[in-house]
Copies of this chain bind each other. A is one copy, B any other.
Amino acid sequence: MSTRSSTPGRQRGLSRRRIVALAHEIIAREGVEALSMRRLAREVGTTPMALYHHVRDKDELLALVMEAVAEDLPRPPLPEDPRERLVAVCELMREAFLQHPWVVAILARGRLVGPSAVWMTEEILGSLVACGMTVEEAFTAHRTIWNFTAGDVMVTAALRTEPEDRSPTHFVESQVARQGAETLPHLGALVGRSRELEARYTYRAGLEQVLDGVLPRR
C-alpha cells in the first residue's frame, strides 16, 4: 500500500486512489446522482478528461468506489451457533447497504459484488451448511435470503429519503379514502395504524421468519 512515499507530503498529482476517494466523498455527502465526471474533475482541480487517464469510464469508477467501501467494512467476531451466525452476517450486510444505499442501485444494474465482500457470501453459505444443508441447498437458500435483504434495503432506503413529502397522508389512508373501505376491507381495517405498524417492522424479525421457512426443521 505505502511502498514509495515514506514522506507524509501531499501527493499533488492525480491518481486512482485520490480520484476514487474523492468520488466516494461526494457520493457519501450528496448521493450517487451528485457524482459526475465533470463535477469530480472540478473538485479535484483538473479537466474532466484527465480522469479518463486513470479510470476507463464512470461505470468503472463506481465499481472502484464500491470496492473501496467493501474494503472498509467491519468484520467483527461472529457467534458460534450457525443460525445466530447467519443472522449476524445478514444484519452486518444490511447495515452496510443501508449506510451506502446507492450500492443497491448499482448492484441492481447487474454489477457483481466485489472481492472484498465475498467473505459474507462464504459465511452465509457456511452457516447454512452448518445448519444441516447441502451446498446446493445452501446456494438456493442464499438466493432467497439475498432477495429478502435486497428488497428490505430498497424499501427501507426509500422510506428514509422520502419522509412522506409527496403523500402527507400515508399510502393506506389515501388509497382507502380514494377507493372506499368496501372494496378494500383489509386495508380499511389498517387505517390510522399503518404508520405505526410500519415503524415497528424490523429486518431482524422478518429474517427470522424467512429462516424458519428456509432452514431444515430441527
Contact = CB atoms under 8 A, between A and B. Distances in A.
A139 B171 CA distance: 13
Interface stretch (A4-12, A77-85, A209-217): A209-217
A49 interface: no
Nearest to A152: B147
A128 to B, nearest CB: 8
A183 to B, nearest CB: 8
Contact of A147 (B151, B184, B186, B190): B151
A179 B136 contact: no
Q: Is the interface on chain A under 10, 10 to 19, 20 to 34, or 35 or more residues?
A: 35 or more
B197 A136 contact: yes
B144 A175 contact: no
A216 to B, nearest CB: 11
A79 B32 CA distance: 44
26 contacts: A104-B108, A108-B158, A110-B159, A110-B161, A112-B171, A118-B175, A118-B184, A119-B183, A121-B187, A126-B185, A129-B186, A135-B186, A139-B190, A139-B197, A140-B197, A140-B205, A143-B206, A144-B210, A146-B155, A147-B147, A147-B155, A150-B150, A209-B214, A210-B213, A211-B213, A213-B214
Interface of A: 104-105, 107-110, 112-113, 115, 118-119, 121-122, 125-126, 129, 135-136, 138-141, 143-144, 146-152, 154-155, 157-159, 161-162, 166-167, 171, 175, 178-179, 183-187, 189-190, 193-194, 197-198, 200-201, 205-206, 208-214
Given A110-B158, A147-B206, 12 more contacts: A108-B158, A110-B166, A118-B184, A122-B184, A129-B186, A136-B190, A143-B206, A144-B148, A146-B151, A147-B148, A151-B154, A212-B213
